[in-house]
């Protein structure tokens, strides 16, 4: 009989402290391999190994591609690399971003489920939006267990809440209780993983290969979903809509992946870019129209000058409307569900001011 001894942990905003607290509560002789993805900018120096070494006697380090998986160790995804599990070793890749991140939580969770089945325990901690939900869903599909930090305790509750809403969770608890549960679960004997539907197994393998930088065209997701009306915010490729239970997510043919929430956040960000691009163009047009008006006035052609000055005034009014739209646009940006307005009370007046 195999034992439950693979722990995968995902966190984002507010998650650095949550990870530290969880590791500090684990006994030093825990017979499990622990893998951690914490969202960070690609240029940020990875400081988590140093921070965790102060809290535990576990060997802690950034994962190294192709190193063997050993028990009683902590492997951390380094900046700008996905961390994947492949049977007895780890793999680091520079595959397409998922939910706007690399490393992302879903590729780790998905690969752990595929390689280790019901030996896996997935843990979602504090974070914004919903990265990790799809990966945790896959862990459950392959017979693993799903633990989630109590959203009331999490500094940013969106990720735990998303997982609770869309995945069958085995336990929702504060950090200290999660650590106790992990100690109880690790080492338990598990039956062989039940057979996975062929299409689900093929889809999981395909998505792992995409994250592993295998040729995307040879790993198309079109057979696992339907073409959507949305273009990928990263590469503008057509996105495939993938449905898993109540989960809806998207992946383009080059490999970028988005949950519905992260896609909404990206599209909203693109709106802001477009507004400022249009504002820049309008301001340049006003300047040019006024310059042409000055030229006609200097040439003693008042009629033509007046026409250009009039056009400049009209464009200046449109420019001000765009400027107001750019100012209120952050109010429409769903950074996290916690930040979203509970009604349209704050939005409608702002929009009305433009009309």
Phi then psi for 16, rounded to 5 degrees?
Answer: -60, -50
DSSP string, 108-175: HHHHHHHHHGGGEEEEE-S-STTTTHHHHHHHHHTT-EEEEE-TTTSSS-HHHHHHHHHS--SEEE-H
Quick check: is 12 catalytic?
yes
Does the annotation count 25 as an active-site position?
Answer: no
Residue 11 pairs with which residues in a beta bridge?
Answer: 38
Comparing C-alpha atoms, which of 230, 243, 252 is closest to residue 97? Answer: 252
Biggest CA pair distance of the chain: 96
- Token pair 């997510």 is found at 249
Pull the structure tokens for residue 349: 């007046």
Partnered with residue 145 across adjacent β-strands are 121
Name the pairing type of β-strands 6-11 and 33-38.
parallel
The dihedral built from the CA positions of residue 152, 154, 157 and 162, taken in this order, carries a sign that is: negative
- Look up tokens 């120096």; give the residue: 45
- Which residue is catalytic, options 130, 131, 261, 315? 131
φ/ψ bin of 246: left (φ > 0), alpha (ψ from -120 to 50), beta (otherwise): alpha
Residue carrying structure tokens 């739209």: 325
DSSP-assigned letters across all residues of 205-254: HHHHHHHTT--GGGG-SGGGSEEEEEEPTTT-PEEEEEEETTEEEEEETT
Q: Is 157 a catalytic residue?
A: no
List 12, 111, 157, 266, catalytic entry: 12
Active-site positions read 12, 39, 131
């Amino acid at each position: 009989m195999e034992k439950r001894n693979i722990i995968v942990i995902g966190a984002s905003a507010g998650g650095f402290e949550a990870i530290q607290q969880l590791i500090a509560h684990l006994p030093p002789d825990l017979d499990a391999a622990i893998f951690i993805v914490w969202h960070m900018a690609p240029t940020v120096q990875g400081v988590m190994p140093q921070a965790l070494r102060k809290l535990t006697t576990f060997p802690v380090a950034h994962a190294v591609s192709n190193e063997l998986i050993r028990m009683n160790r902590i492997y951390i995804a380094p900046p700008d690399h996905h961390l994947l599990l492949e049977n007895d070793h780890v793999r680091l890749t520079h595959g397409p971003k998922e939910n706007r991140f690399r490393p992302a939580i879903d590729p780790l969770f998905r690969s752990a489920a595929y390689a280790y089945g019901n030996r896996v325990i997935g843990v979602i901690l504090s974070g914004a939006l919903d990265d990790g939900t799809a990966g945790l869903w896959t862990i459950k599909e392959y017979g693993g267990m799903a633990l989630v930090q109590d959203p009331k305790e999490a500094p940013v509750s969106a990720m735990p809440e998303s997982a609770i809403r869309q995945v069958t969770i085995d336990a929702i608890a504060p950090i200290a209780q999660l650590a106790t549960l992990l100690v109880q679960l690790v080492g338990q004997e598990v039956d062989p993983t039940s057979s996975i539907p062929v299409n689900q197994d093929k889809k999981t393998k395909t998505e792992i290969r995409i994250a592993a930088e295998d040729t995307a065209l040879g790993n198309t997701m079109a057979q696992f979903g339907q073409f959507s009306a949305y273009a990928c915010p990263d590469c503008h490729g057509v996105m495939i809509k993938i449905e898993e239970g109540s989960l809806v997510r998207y992946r383009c043919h080059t490999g970028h992946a988005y949950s519905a929430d992260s896609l909404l956040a990206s599209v909203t960000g693109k709106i802001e870019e477009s507004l400022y691009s249009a504002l820049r163009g309008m301001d340049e047009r006003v300047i040019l129209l006024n310059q042409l008006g000055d030229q006609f006035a200097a040439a003693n052609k008042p009629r033509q000058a007046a026409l250009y000055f009039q056009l400049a005034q009209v464009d200046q009014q449109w420019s001000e409307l765009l400027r107001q739209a750019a100012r209120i646009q952050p109010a429409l940006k769903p950074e996290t569900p916690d930040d979203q307005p509970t009604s349209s009370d704050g939005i409608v007046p702002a929009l009305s001011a433009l009309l």
